[in-house]
């Protein structure tokens, strides 16, 4: 059996060049220029963040070395090291997760004073923010929520103080 390919090219549609749009060349060029400018601005922003991270990482490394020489709490030094790693790798989740795990495992779980003290400091800092006088000017429903948050923070503060005393 012999195949016949004659006529196949006659029934196939021709491939044509795409139609150019009716948008004037000057508008197309301006769009390209605007896009390029956005790309440049984004690159500048990324580079500025990168430079800031390098600077902060260097400052943290210096603080770690000074802390080691002065006998600073190892928990603080560890968190500074994790923060430096987080900055150098642009991975903020690493630091956030490390900090949360440190408080949960080494603080509450293993009852290490440095981790408990870190959480206590954070609770006290939030408590200070919640007890600012201007918050008492808020509407009643907001004041009620703030007062419940204050109570919860005071309870947590007392729990942490008891954990530190038990050590």
Q: Which residue has the tokens 């802390």?
A: 67
Q: Got the DSSP string for 31-92?
A: HHHHHHHHHHHHHHHHHHHHHHHHHHHHHHHHHHHHHHHHT--HHHHHHHHHHHHHHHHT-H
On whether the pTM is more than 0.75, the answer is no
Per-residue tokens: 164: 């530190």
Per-residue pLDDT of the chain (167 residues; tens, 9 = 90+): 566 555 555 555 555 555 556 789 999 999 999 999 999 999 999 999 999 999 999 999 999 999 999 999 999 999 999 999 999 999 999 999 999 999 999 998 889 999 999 999 999 999 999 999 998 889 999 999 999 999 999 999 999 999 999 87
160 contact partners, CB below 8 Å, separation of at least 6: 116, 119, 120, 123
Residue 123 CB coordination number (10 Å)? 20
In three-state secondary structure terms, 158 is: helix
> Where are the domains positioned within the chain?
29-90, 113-167
């Amino acid at each position: 059996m012999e195949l016949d390919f004659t006529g196949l090219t006659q029934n196939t549609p021709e491939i044509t060049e795409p139609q150019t749009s009716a948008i004037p060349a000057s508008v197309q060029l301006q769009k390209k220029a605007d896009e390029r400018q956005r790309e440049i601005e984004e690159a500048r922003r990324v580079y500025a963040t990168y430079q800031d991270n390098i600077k902060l990482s260097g400052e943290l490394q210096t603080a770690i070395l000074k802390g080691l020489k002065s006998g600073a709490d190892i928990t603080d030094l560890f968190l500074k090291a994790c923060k430096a790693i987080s900055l150098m790798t642009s991975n903020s989740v690493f630091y956030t997760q490390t900090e949360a795990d440190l408080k949960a495992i080494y603080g509450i779980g293993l009852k290490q004073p440095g981790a408990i003290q870190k959480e206590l400091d954070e609770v006290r800092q939030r408590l200070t923010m919640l007890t600012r006088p201007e918050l008492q000017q808020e509407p009643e429903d907001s004041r009620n929520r703030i007062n419940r948050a204050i109570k919860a923070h005071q309870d947590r503060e007392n729990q942490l103080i008891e954990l530190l005393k038990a050590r």
